[in-house]
């Protein structure tokens, strides 16, 4: 079974066997385990290596002068923690593991090789970055124009799609090692309000969430209440013909 990095990028393009082996090779050399809450890379740091999430869940966040924390993105397996290291001097934010997580280390040199290639891997890396941008834009729409209930619904549905994309779930249940305080820091609500909104989602029989396990009971209706439009995830194999291989997340979008 493919590693999640390859699997994610193959939502965009199909690789050759050789390309798959290149990627497999890169992420199997050096790996790291991370404890829940542990920083993978910190604001202000520069690392010689790029981190690719292989398992678990992580987040990008910033700490504020007043002690508050804003989570700006969740990272699922297959996501790059710090594409910036290959070109920027230092991180402008931190990345931390939420549950136990493992990452693979890819050296800056190797990343540069991939990026200056002419082939599909270079394009797939661009695709990944461009969809990261799109996800952030959607988060801004969430904050600016959707109320707390819809915002939460939208976030949870997006997580379902992204988990599917990398084969982290085949049904509607996700490992979700996240506290309500984390969810609050991500959505800009207080933990108390997160609790109330989750209650409402449960009352509406849309989800269950307990002991770090999230189940989407009614994906269709959740998508509906979230006003979810999947176009921003660009899961449409822009440059390839469809080829009989079933899309992993295709039935959700």
Maximal CA-CA distance, the chain: 53
> What gap in Å lies between CA 55 and CA 78, rounded to an integer?
8
> What gap in Å lies between CA 132 and CA 232, rounded to an integer?
9
Handedness of CA 20, 132, 105, 109 (dihedral sign): positive
Based on the shown chain and the rule CB under 7 A, indicate whether residue 66 belongs to the binding site for DNA. no
Nearest alpha-carbon partner for 25 in 83, 110, 108, 82: 110
Using CB under 7 A, count the residues that bind DNA.
17
Based on the shown chain and the rule CB under 7 A, indicate whether residue 100 belongs to the binding site for DNA. no
> What gap in Å lies between CA 100 and CA 115, rounded to an integer?
30
Least distance CB 196 / its own copies (angstroms): 18
Residue 88 contact partner, candidates DNA, its own copies, none, CB within 5 to 8 A by sort of partner: its own copies
What are the tokens at 146? 């959707």
Residue 181 contact partner, candidates DNA, its own copies, none, CB within 5 to 8 A by sort of partner: DNA
Q: Which stretch binds DNA (CB under 7 A): 22-30, 90-98, 117-125, 191-199?
A: 191-199
**One residue of 62, 202, 212, 221 binding its own copies per CB under 8 A:** 62
Based on the shown chain and the rule CB under 8 A, indicate whether residue 84 belongs to the binding site for its own copies. yes
Supply the Cα-derived Rg of the chain in whole angstroms: 18
**One residue of 191, 219, 230, 250 binding DNA per CB under 7 A:** 191
Based on the shown chain and the rule CB under 8 A, indicate whether residue 149 belongs to the binding site for its own copies. no
Residue 149 contact partner, candidates its own copies, DNA, none, CB within 5 to 8 A by sort of partner: DNA
- Nearest to DNA of 21, 199 (CB atom): 199
> What gap in Å lies between CA 67 and CA 57, rounded to an integer?
23
> What gap in Å lies between CA 205 and CA 51, rounded to an integer?
38
Nearest alpha-carbon partner for 79 in 3, 139, 155, 21: 3
> Which positions lie near its own copies, rule CB under 8 A?
43-44, 60, 62, 64-65, 68, 70, 72-73, 83-84, 86-90, 92-93, 115-118, 122-123, 126-127, 129-130, 132-134, 136-137, 139-141, 143-145, 185, 187-188, 227, 231-232, 234, 236, 238-239
């Amino acid at each position: 079974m493919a590693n999640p990095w390859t699997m994610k990028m193959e939502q965009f393009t199909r690789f050759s066997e050789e390309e798959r082996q290149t990627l497999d090779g890169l992420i199997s050399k050096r790996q790291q385990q991370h404890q829940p809450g542990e920083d993978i890379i910190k604001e202000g740091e520069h690392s010689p290596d790029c981190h690719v999430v292989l398992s678990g869940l992580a987040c990008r966040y910033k700490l504020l002068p007043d002690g508050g924390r804003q989570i700006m993105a969740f990272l699922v397996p297959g996501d790059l923690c710090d594409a910036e290291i290959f070109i920027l001097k230092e991180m402008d934010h931190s990345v931390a593991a939420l549950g136990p997580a493992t990452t693979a280390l890819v050296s800056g040199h190797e990343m540069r090789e991939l990026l200056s290639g002419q082939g599909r891997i270079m394009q797939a890396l661009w695709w990944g970055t461009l969809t990261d941008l799109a996800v952030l834009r959607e988060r801004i729409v969430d904050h600016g124009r959707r109320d707390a209930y819809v915002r939460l619904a939208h976030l949870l549905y997006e997580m379902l799609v992204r988990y599917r994309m990398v084969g982290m779930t085949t049904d509607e249940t996700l490992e979700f090692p996240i506290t309500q305080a984390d969810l609050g820091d991500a959505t800009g609500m207080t933990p108390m309000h997160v609790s109330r909104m989750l209650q409402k989602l449960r009352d509406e029989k849309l989800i269950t969430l307990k002991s770090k396990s999230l189940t989407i009971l009614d994906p269709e209706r959740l998508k509906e209440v979230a006003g979810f439009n999947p176009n921003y995830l660009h899961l449409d194999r822009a440059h390839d013909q469809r080829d009989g291989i079933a899309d992993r997340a295709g039935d959700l979008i």
